[in-house]
Amino acid sequence: MQTIKAAVCHAFGSPLVIEEIQLAAPRMGEVEVTLDAVAICHSDISYAEGAWGGHLPAVYGHEAAGTITAVGGGVNGFEEGDCVVVTLIRACGTCPSCAGGKPTICETPYDGVKNGPLTTADGGPLEQAMACGAFAEKVVVDQRQIVKIPDTMAKDVASLISCGVITGVGAAVNAAGLRPGQDVVVIGAGGVGLNAIQGARIAGARRIVAVDMSEEKLEVAKEFGATHGVLASQASPWRAAYKALGGKGADAVLVTVGAIPAYDQAVRYLGRGGKAVMIGMPHSGQKAEYEPVVMAAIGQGMVGSKMGDVVIQRDIPWMIDLYDQGRLKLDELISGRWRLDQINEAIADTKTGSARRNVILFNH
């Protein structure tokens, strides 16, 4: 066991506490990664507020990048010194979902308390939340959770790929299965929404309508590829989207926020045969309403998308390649850089809704 610093959640809705914790050495198939950067995702905030339950105390954080500093037995293709991104996708590789090419919905459970590498300073239970626990100086994760990145790639930029980028781009490319010439509506122009817009552009969408409550964010959306912007606060915003799409509904609507009004309205943006992709995660127990007879009559559908339905070993390398070519914006997604001891300030800034992604930097 070694001692590291981490931001620990002791009570839902309370500020995180920077303290020393214990980290176990990597076991079979695991690696230790010393982190350079971890981005703050709204999922971390929702968990820390108790939206989806979970064990406390816990260490959240799951969008990270760093360098491998220890390797357990049975690890293939990685060695100390490798630069990697760290994701929350801890896939077993052998269950029906993994074998069927859907590792984001792996069926093998992982207990981040009993089987995780973390304990409190005095040896008490501490959850490695989301199989990652990256609001800390180091993590120990399964080798299937990491992907190598170029040594020259900035870690703060690389960390964004671990969740926000693959979730948004993957939702457009993998879950929606967009084809060139199709029309798309993206509800929410935050971090994931901007990446969904990028994904739609990369997939060759004809028109991309961004929907958001903020005029400023709609303007930013156009920088990332949106062709039109619609204010969600106006009466019947889907009518404005129809107009932008030439008088018809969208082939796909990507809901990137966890707000119930967005889900209630999502299918209204759809055209015949269109599909709503559910990405943003409302709090447990919240419900949306639909009129299924309409959807059935005109062949519409709904599908959930976890982490963009990605296979990280396949999808992250091509996204990095697009970034290198200047075809995928990453640097522009970072709105602030903070130290670990400023994490509560960074979370507060993220909750205002104005931040794209705030990143915690270590050893800076």
217 and 340 belong to one structural domain = no
Would 204 be classed as within a structural domain? yes
- CA gap 131, 117 in Å, rounded: 10
Domain-located, residue 257: yes
Q: How far is CA 81 from CA 6, 119, 153, in A?
A: 22, 26, 14
Query: Taken in order 90, 91, 97, 102, is the CA torsion positive or negative?
Result: positive
316 membership: H or E segment, kind and range: helix 312-325
DSSP β-bridge partners for residue 118: 23
Quick: pLDDT tens for 218-239.
Answer: 999 999 999 999 999 999 999 9
Supply the range of the domain harboring residue 209.
168-305
Q: Indicate whether 157 and 173 sit together in one domain.
A: no
Residues 18 and 117 placed together within one structural domain of the fold: yes
What pLDDT is recorded for position 84? 98
Who contacts 272 (Cβ-Cβ below 8 Å, separation ≥6)? 249, 298, 299, 300
pLDDT at 363: 79
CATH of residue 98's domain is 3.90.180.10
One domain, residues 255 and 187? yes
Q: Which of 201, 209, 214 is nearest to 270 (CA)?
A: 209
In a domain, 319, yes or no: no
CB-CB contact of 235 with 262 (8 Å): no
| 104 and 182 together in one domain | no
pLDDT at 333: 95
Q: Is the pLDDT of residue 354 over 90?
A: no
How many domains are there within the chain? 2
Q: For 134-160, write each residue's pLDDT tens digit.
A: 999 999 999 999 999 999 999 999 999
Q: Is the domain of 125 the same as that of 258? A: no
CATH number for the domain including 235?
Answer: 3.40.50.720
Query: Is residue 324 domain-resident?
Result: no
Q: Do 87 and 188 lie in a common domain?
A: no
Same domain, 116 and 214: no
Asked whether residue 194 is assigned to any structural domain, the reply reads yes
Q: For the beta carbon of residue 110, count every other beta carbon within 10 angstroms.
A: 15
- Which among 260, 257, 104 has a CA at the least distance from the CA of 193? 257
